[in-house]
Each structure stands twice: as C-alpha cells, then as structure tokens.
C-alpha cells in the first residue's frame, strides 16, 4: 500500500486554543505545518515551533493575510476569536472563511459554522459557492458546542424510543485560563454590575449564535422543527477578593455567570443547554460543580455525567485537529458532525 503524504496544515491564529492545535500539528507525523497566521505583532517572524514550546519547524509566523491565503495547503485550522467578540458580526468571519475555501483549502473552524443553515439560505449559498470554487469543505467544531451539546446527545438518542426533552449542562472553571481578554474583558469577570451589562454584549452575541446553531443542529437531526431558541442569563457577585490567572476579582464584582439556551416547540423546551462559567469554582458555591451532564427525558430516561475535563482548551483544539483527515476526504460543501465518520483520537495514543 502506498504511503500517503502528510496533509499540509495552516494554523490560523495562535491564541489559547490555537496554540494547543499548533503543538499537535507539529508533533504528529501525518501532518506538515505549511504556514501560521498570527494577530500579535510580537509573534511575527518567529519560528512556529518555539512559540508553543516545540523544536524549530522552519515555518515563520506571519500577519500577512494575502501571503498566508496563497500558501499551498490542504487544510486551515481557523481559530481566531469570533469577530462578534470585537463588536463585529458573523459576516466578518464568513468573509474570511469563504476566502480560504475559495483558495482551495478546507477549513475547520472554532468560530461557529457548526450549523450555518441557522442563518438562512444567503449564508449557505455563499459557503457552498466558495466550497465549489475551491473544491473544499468547511466544518465548525469545538467541545461545547461541537461535541458535548450536540454529538453526545445525538449518540444517546439512538437508544430512545421516545424523546421528550434533552438537557445539557456545562460548568467551566476559569481559574487557570490564561487569557485576560477572554476571561475578564469578554466574559466579564471582575467587572462591577453596572459595567457588566454593557461589557458582556459582544459575548452574549457570540453565545447566542453558537448555541442556536448547536440546538438547531440536534433538533434538525431528530426531525424536530423549533419555533425559536430562547436565551436567558444571570450572574453572581464575589463575596471576597481572590486572584485567578487572568486577573484580580474584587468583592462585589462578577465572579460567575449562568446562561440558558432553550429550543422551544409550541412554548415548551425540546432541548435546553445550561452553561455555567466560574472565575474560580472553589470560591463560587452557587450552581453546579465543574463538569458536563446530559439528561435524556423520554423512554428510556438516561443521564451521562463527566465530572471533570482538565484541559478544555486542549480538548477543543484536539477535536479540530482530529477532524482534519475526515474533512479533507469529505466531498466539497458544508460539513457537520452528521456528515463525517466518527472523529476519534486515532494517532494520538501514547503507549508506555
């Protein structure tokens, strides 16, 4: 059997998730790093390897969009923060993703695109046109959404004779998250209540978009037509001063938030996703402990509980990297987790 050449991969953004992905691409022999796009001027010109604690690769980081776009590659791991974080909208990310697709490179992104059909035929047509032009595919993924709130519930649904309600809960502890931009500026931890409502608007837009896609994907796969996806959120204030990796949380400032997304049919929830974010789970007793839980109400009733995911960012990156081969082999077009074979960690096992 002929040996397949390594798949050429471009890492697009090297933030918290992108850095984990870049490490995997460098380390795994089935991939060859073809290029790296960065947004931080201090990273421009640096070798991609030492940037993430790996040996030299000979690939230098660039902030030149056109240069990276014209680099020959099979796949782009597109992992910047969504444009909505900066007051933009879905259209900005759509423009970038379409440009990459039309250039002949498949795209795996963590900025959304889990179920672009939510945004209507205009967005779908733009993506399909770009995929047709480049002979490429686009796939949106992550952990939640992208795995916990859609892939696992759908897997459990295969054991059901009747589905009444799907409930997914995520509780994440941000005590060790390194990004002040995400933890303090966007999620809003450490902000006074009067500032929080305004500051969190970009994050609310991203949350609503991501989880609407996820809930609609599950409902559509199960043949259920939702009337709407309803969103509510609330926050908790710190009772004492404490420090986390991203910064200082003072008494009376926001230290946790709870988001609920409900896909409704005739006013009743068919699927509910609850997301709890804590600056430091040891300091915030309200709401559940960190981990994931999935409840299927119906016949039979089922529950899966994952007590802890120690490196959630690494998990999100791994799911994207482990999808590369399947996405590159898929027919051109919009791909969802329903279109691809089961994504596993094959090739990542390390035996003592």
Q: Are residues 187 and 300 in the same domain?
A: yes
- DSSP E strands, the chain: 7-12, 31-37, 61-62, 75-78, 106-109, 137-140, 162-173, 228-237, 242-244, 247-249, 254-265, 268-278, 291-299, 302-306, 333-335
pLDDT at residue 76 in the model:
98
Task: Tell me, yes or no, whether 168 and 301 share the same domain.
Answer: yes
With respect to residue 297, please indicate whether it lies within any of the assigned structural domains. yes
Specify the pTM.
0.92
Claim to verify: residue 46 and residue 162 sit in the same structural domain: no
Helix (H, G, I), strand (E, B) or coil at 248: strand
Give the pLDDT confidence score for residue 2 in this predicted structure. 61
> Does residue 351 lie in a domain region?
no
In this predicted structure, what is the pLDDT of residue 175? 95
pLDDT, mean of each 10-residue run, the chain (352 residues): 85 95 97 97 97 97 97 97 74 94 98 92 97 98 89 93 96 92 92 92 87 95 95 96 97 98 96 97 94 95 89 89 96 94 70 43
Supply the pLDDT for residue 351.
47
Angstrom distance (rounded) from CA 23 to CA 193 = 38
Residues 129, 275: one domain? Answer: no
Q: Determine the Cα–Cα distance for residues 154 and 159; give it in Å rounded to an integer.
A: 10
Residues 251 and 172 in one domain: yes
Any domain includes 109: yes
pLDDT value for 215: 96
Is residue 175 domain-shared with residue 28, that is, in the same domain?
no
pLDDT of residue 202: 85
CA distance 29 to 324: 13
- Specify whether 78 is located in the same domain as 103: yes
Residue 235 lies in a domain: yes
Task: Report if residue 44 sits inside a domain.
Answer: yes
Which residue range(s) make up the domain with 178?
Answer: 151-308
Q: Are residues 14 and 97 in the same domain?
A: yes
Distance CA 305, CA 156 (A): 13
**At which of 290, 308, 326 does a domain end?**
308
Give burial (CB, 10 Å; 0-12/13-18/19+) of 225: exposed
Q: Is residue 1 part of a domain?
A: no
Q: How far apart are CA 297 and CA 216, in angstroms?
A: 18
Closest CA to 152 of 218, 96, 196: 218
The CATH number given to whatever domain includes residue 156 is 3.30.360
pLDDT in tens, 51-70: 999 999 999 999 999 999 99
State the CATH number of the domain containing residue 48.
Answer: 3.40.50.720
In a domain, 146, yes or no: no
Domain count, the chain: 2
Same domain for 232 and 189, yes or no, is yes
Q: Are 134 and 156 in a shared domain? A: no
- Residue written as tokens 């609850």? 274
274-302 pLDDT, tens digit per residue, is 999 999 999 999 999 999 999 999 999 99
Whether 134 and 168 map to the same domain: the answer is no
> Quick one: 237 and 221 in the same domain?
yes
Is there a domain that residue 217 lies in?
yes
């Amino acid at each position: 059997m002929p040996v397949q050449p390594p798949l050429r991969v471009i890492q697009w953004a090297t933030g918290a998730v992108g850095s984990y992905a870049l490490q995997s691409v460098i380390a795994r022999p089935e991939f060859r790093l073809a290029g790296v796009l960065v947004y931080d001027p201090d990273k421009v010109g640096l070798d991609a390897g030492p940037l993430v604690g790996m040996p030299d690769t000979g690939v230098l980081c660039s902030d030149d969009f056109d240069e990276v776009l014209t680099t020959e590659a099979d796949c782009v791991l597109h992992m910047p923060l969504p444009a909505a974080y900066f007051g933009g909208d879905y259209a900005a990310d759509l423009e970038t993703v379409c440009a990459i697709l039309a250039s002949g490179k498949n795209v795996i992104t963590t900025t959304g695109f889990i179920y672009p059909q939510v945004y209507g035929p205009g967005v779908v047509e733009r993506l399909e046109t770009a995929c047709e032009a480049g002979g490429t595919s686009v796939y949106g993924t992550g952990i939640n959404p992208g795995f916990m709130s859609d892939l696992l519930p759908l897997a459990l649904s295969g054991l059901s004779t009747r589905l009444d309600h799907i409930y997914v809960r995520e509780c994440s502890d941000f005590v060790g998250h390194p990004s002040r931009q995400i933890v303090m500026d966007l999620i809003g931890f450490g902000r006074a209540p009067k500032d929080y409502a305004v500051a969190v608007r970009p994050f609310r837009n991203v949350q609503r978009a991501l989880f609407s896609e996820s809930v609609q994907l599950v409902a559509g796969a199960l043949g259920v037509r939702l009337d709407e996806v309803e969103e509510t959120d609330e926050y908790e204030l710190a009772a004492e001063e404490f420090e986390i990796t991203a910064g200082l949380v003072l008494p009376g400032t926001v230290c946790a938030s709870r988001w609920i997304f409900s896909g409704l049919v005739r006013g009743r929830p068919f699927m509910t996703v609850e997301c709890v974010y804590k600056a430091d789970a040891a300091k915030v007793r309200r709401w559940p402990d960190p981990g994931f839980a999935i409840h299927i109400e119906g016949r039979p009733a089922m529950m899966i509980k994952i007590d802890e995911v120690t490196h959630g960012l690494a998990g999100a990156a791994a799911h994207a990297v482990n999808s590369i081969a399947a996405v590159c082999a898929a027919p051109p077009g919009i791909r969802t987790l329903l279109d691809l074979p089961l994504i596993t960690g094959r090739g990542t096992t390390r035996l003592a």
